[in-house]
Amino acid sequence: MLALFNSLFINIAKTEAMLFGTPQKLVKINQFSVTINGSATKGVTEFKYLAVIFNEHISWNEHIKAIVSKAGRRVGMLGLARRYITLHSANANCISMIRTILEYCAGAWACCREENSGTLQALQKRVGRIVIKTASSDTAMEALKWACLRTKRNEHMLKLVRKCIDGRCPQYFNNYFVFNKYVCTCSTWQSNLLHLLAIRTETARRSF
């Protein structure tokens, strides 16, 4: 077995390899494999890591389907129990049992597509209607004062950016962000803003 720098060993039988890229790029690759100590790892197009599902296109479609399915089962249980519990209990159960699923590791997949974002928001509105016992999503959201899930994902992303800047993330994130004042010597009102690279593709626009 191959020993890592932390004295752990790679179990080839449990190791999988995945190549990330756009559909246009991946279709041009006929064969892809990773060999470790003469043994080929299993190639996959989808992988679950710490409850987050990655696929080769990083579209997040499968991850969203998984969390909607998991959260949906709990929504069903909440619907059955709602008549027997108070509004306060229903709201508390929703936050602890459902929203934790919908927001788990949201900083990583906050760049999900519009249709995925809409699916998640529709599920939150459904939960709100159950909690308030109303047929109107607007009435439920106004009464509960719940933030839009997109807003919550942006908050998670901003916290991750803050951690990167403060050096509280893994080492490979230490120099991920720099300020304009370190790129350009001219002092302007933008000097204390983050220096962001120019975006040329849709994939880059949706990336962290």
Q: Which residues does 37 contact at the CB level (< 8 Å), separation at least 6?
A: 1, 2, 12
Distance linking the first and last C-alpha atoms of the chain: 34
Q: Look at residues 88, 67, 48, 47 and name the one whose alpha carbon lies nearest to residue 153.
A: 67
Model confidence pLDDT, tens digit, residues 9-64 = 788 888 889 998 888 888 888 888 888 888 888 889 999 999 999 999 888 999 99
pTM: 0.81
2 pLDDT more than 70: no
Model confidence pLDDT, tens digit, residues 49-103 = 999 999 998 889 999 999 999 999 999 999 999 999 999 999 999 989 999 999 9
Encode 17-31: b = buried (16+ Cβ within 10 Å), e = exposed.
ebeeeeeeeeeeeee
